[in-house]
Amino acid sequence: MLSKRLTEKCRLRKGITRRSFMRGAGAATLSFTIMKPSLVSGTEANSRIEVGCIGLGGRGTLIAGMLKEHKGYQVTSVADYFPEVSIEAGEKFEVAEKRRFSGLSGYQKLIDSKVDAVFCETPPYCFPEHVTAAVNAGCHVYLAKPVACDVSGCLTIAEMGKKATETKKVFLVDFQMPTDPFIIEAVKRVHKGDIGPVAMVSSFYTDDGFRDPPKSETIESRLRHLIWVNDVNLGGGMIVNADIHAIDAALRVVGSRPLSAMGCSRVGKSDAHGDTAYVYSLTYQFENGLIMNHQGEHLRNTKRFTCGCFAYGPEGYLEANYEGKAWVHGNRKAYRGGQVTNLYVEGIKRNLDRFYNSIVGGMHDNPTVQSSVNSTLATILGRQAASRNTKVTWDQMIKENEKLEVDFTGLKE
């Protein structure tokens, strides 16, 4: 519903990477063969899944373009807070004028227009409300990360994930690193014990951050160009919205959620207008004594984009990168792995395929929901611990049940 145009520093690698697309690259295409004749209840054989796209900024437009070229999907409704964005997207993706919605209530009008699946690509503050409406309306859900900005929102998403499974609907959260074949194999080998018991994990994320201009009379100016990432209540802040890629990958290696976190954070620049921190140093602790360190940095200092994690054991270590190598070094066992490339687009392709095949195959176990909720909560735990400069436990965080509010005064319904 809310417009996003991804902007980011120039990347030297060939192809479309997560960072290079954030400079404003166009939509990619994707095509898969329909595998089964029945897609959703009430549709004819070989008909497409009718999709509504909420949020048509950079990523939303990319995904809508991939859906348009996919043989299994048809974009039939679009919604964005800004009417000009909705109109432009409707024309681009050949959506009927009466199914192009805008304003704060555009998402509900899209859901009421009767679609099989809803794709949510707005600022994450909106996700709990939008997902609840979609699941209650009987729609399949494809959701961007992070799943929410606060604890209350995460718990709502977890509840909706369970309801989707109970009502035989597919609910997928779109992380890219867990889809890469080299990363999958490397993590599998660690879980098999190839490096021995994991003693410590380190995750890291660096980038230039996003534009953060002075605030205007209403929050409307914060709803474009990923400016909302700078606002904790709208986007979760940098650690929740960006660092989550690395923290999620590390948690998948560990295989459990942390018990507590402690650390520090700071703004680190003089021209900030949002309330996020841009520099983080955190230590997470786990039930078995394992330690996880995380470092995050989002300053415009020409440091290139990096994202990934290391896992250290007595017999070797794992390295997994969003852009770079994924492999396992070992004293006795090793995995040469390979180069992770073009993951931003390739990961979406794999997730679109998985979402489609799950709908077609009637697979409603929805395993990505709870893991994504846990990853989002872990970043919120880190945000809280760092802002308070003290140790915060997982149980304490859940009990406090933080709920953030946004002032929509002056915005169009």
Mean pLDDT score across all residues of the chain: 90
Q: Residue 10 above 50 pLDDT?
A: no
- What average pLDDT score do residues 101-115 get? 98
Using pLDDT thresholds of 50, 70 and 90, give the confidence band for residue 332: confident
How much of the chain exceeds pLDDT 70, in percent? 89
- What average pLDDT score do residues 319-335 get? 96
pLDDT in tens, 128-149: 999 999 999 999 999 999 999 9
Least confident of 6-15, 111-120, 208-217: 6-15
Which residue, chain included where needed, has tokens 């080299």? Answer: 182
pLDDT in tens, 55-96: 999 999 999 999 999 999 999 999 999 999 999 999 999 999
Domain boundaries, the chain: 18-173, 177-341+367-400
Map residue 37 onto helix, strand or coil: coil
What tokens were used for 114? 């009767």
| Whether the Cβ atoms of residue 45 and residue 37 lie closer than 8 Å to each other | yes
Tell me the sheet residues that pair with 293: 202, 283
- What average pLDDT score do residues 383-412 get? 97
What tokens were used for 258? 């942390």
What tokens were used for 133? 């409406």
Which CATH number is correct for 177-341+367-400, 3.30.360.10, 3.20.19.10, 3.40.1280.10, 3.30.565.10?
3.30.360.10
Answer whether 18-173 and 177-341+367-400 agree in fold. Answer: no
pLDDT in tens, 159-174: 999 999 999 999 999 9
Residue 275: φ, ψ to 5°: -110, 15
Cα separation, 112 vs 10, whole angstroms? 41
Which CATH number is correct for 18-173, 3.30.1540.10, 3.40.50.1980, 3.40.50.720, 3.40.50.2300?
3.40.50.720
